[in-house]
Amino acid sequence: MNNELFSAWLNLTKYHDRLLKAMDCTLQEQFQLGIKEFYLMYYLAQSEQKKMKLSDLVPKVGLSHSALSRLVTRLEQYRGGSLVERQTYANDKRSIDVFLMKKGEHYIHEMEMVINDHLQSRLSEKDIQNIKRLVE
Amino acid sequence: MNNELFSAWLNLTKYHDRLLKAMDCTLQEQFQLGIKEFYLMYYLAQSEQKKMKLSDLVPKVGLSHSALSRLVTRLEQYRGGSLVERQTYANDKRSIDVFLMKKGEHYIHEMEMVINDHLQSRLSEKDIQNIKRLVE
DNA sequence: AAAAAATGTTTGCGCATGCATGTAATATTT
DNA sequence: AAATATTACATGCATGCGCAAACATTTTTT
């Protein structure tokens, strides 16, 4: 077995997991929301009209249809008030639009700042360069 | 928000997830075992006596004590025969050693080859260099 | 126009996880 | 030596996940 290659993979996994868990923890503590919740809202915030069809979110967020459906439900029922809203999509009543509500917009901006700080403080300039190179 | 930094992070996550899911899928198909199962057995195979204390495996595999305990149970009850065995640790009867059985050793060798091929075929030389740089 | 196939979402189910707790064994204090 | 605290693992429980099936709404076929 080519141990070099496998070791490199193992290290990448550990590196990524460590960063991810720390970030998830931070978000959980400060907002009672996880990374997946963040991703969903992030893509909505990026979108033109602050809404996207559920099925378009699937490949973005990286969850199954069912998981995403329930994720939306959780965000609708967020303790402090809905962050997101289901809207029926007029052109095709099978679809739904997931709409980012005002409260959600506010949250996502705060979360972005927290995440940015989090990354800034944990990644060296060298790391950042390497990450960029890796995925370009 | 520093979008460059965040984008780099997002891409790293997607890159890693894609590789990880594909690998998990391969192992699931060929061995009806997942990545975590592989990691556990891999560390046992690396160890001097093909056994490690449960608590020493926790930081290696990256799961909680409880999850690891159940993972061992699953490997003990593997359909085709136990891959792993619980052994009481004489010096401290609270501890257990997780021991890699012959069948498990056989499996782990095959899995290593599959994973190595998997990585070889999916990572370019450039990727490999970058990964190594990232985690050194 | 009715029947069949396809599409988008939700729901039922089983599984793996982490947290909190339980239990047994060992270490420390008094 | 008895009482207390700590350690190592197992277990009950709630949660989030993916798969498969159900459901509702188009679209295509006949």
CB–CB contact A8 B120 (8 Å): no
- Cβ of residue A121 closer than 8 Å to a chain B Cβ: no
CATH number of the A15-135 domain: 1.10.10.10
- Rounded Cα–Cα distance for residues A19 and B62 (Å): 13
Condensed to tens digits (0 to 9), the pLDDT of residues B29-86 reads 999 999 999 999 999 999 999 999 999 999 999 999 999 999 999 999 999 999 999 9
Condensed to tens digits (0 to 9), the pLDDT of residues A18-65 reads 999 999 999 999 999 999 999 999 999 999 999 999 999 999 999 999
CB–CB contact B17 A120 (8 Å): no
Nucleic acid strand D: bases within 7 A of protein CB: 7-12, 16-21, 24-27
What pLDDT, on a 0 to 100 scale, did the predictor assign at position A2?
Answer: 60
Between B63 and A130, whose confidence is greater? B63
- Cβ(A61)–Cβ(A106) below 8 Å: no
Could you tell me the distance in Å between the CA of residue B90 and the C1' of nucleotide C29? 26
What pLDDT, on a 0 to 100 scale, did the predictor assign at position B19?
Answer: 94
Residues A99-104, mean pLDDT to the nearest whole number: 98
**B3 by DSSP, 3-state: which?**
helix
Nucleic acid strand C: bases within 7 A of protein CB: 7-12, 16-20, 24-27
- Rounded Cα–Cα distance for residues A130 and A124 (Å): 10
CATH number of the B18-135 domain: 1.10.10.10
Q: Output helix, strand, coil percentages for chain A, rounded to the nearest 5.
A: 70, 10, 20
Condensed to tens digits (0 to 9), the pLDDT of residues A86-98 reads 999 889 999 999 9
What pLDDT, on a 0 to 100 scale, did the predictor assign at position B104?
Answer: 97
Segments making up each domain of chain B, as ranges: 18-135
Confidence class for position A133, pLDDT limits 50, 70, 90: confident
E strands, B8-136, in order: 51-53, 84-88, 96-100
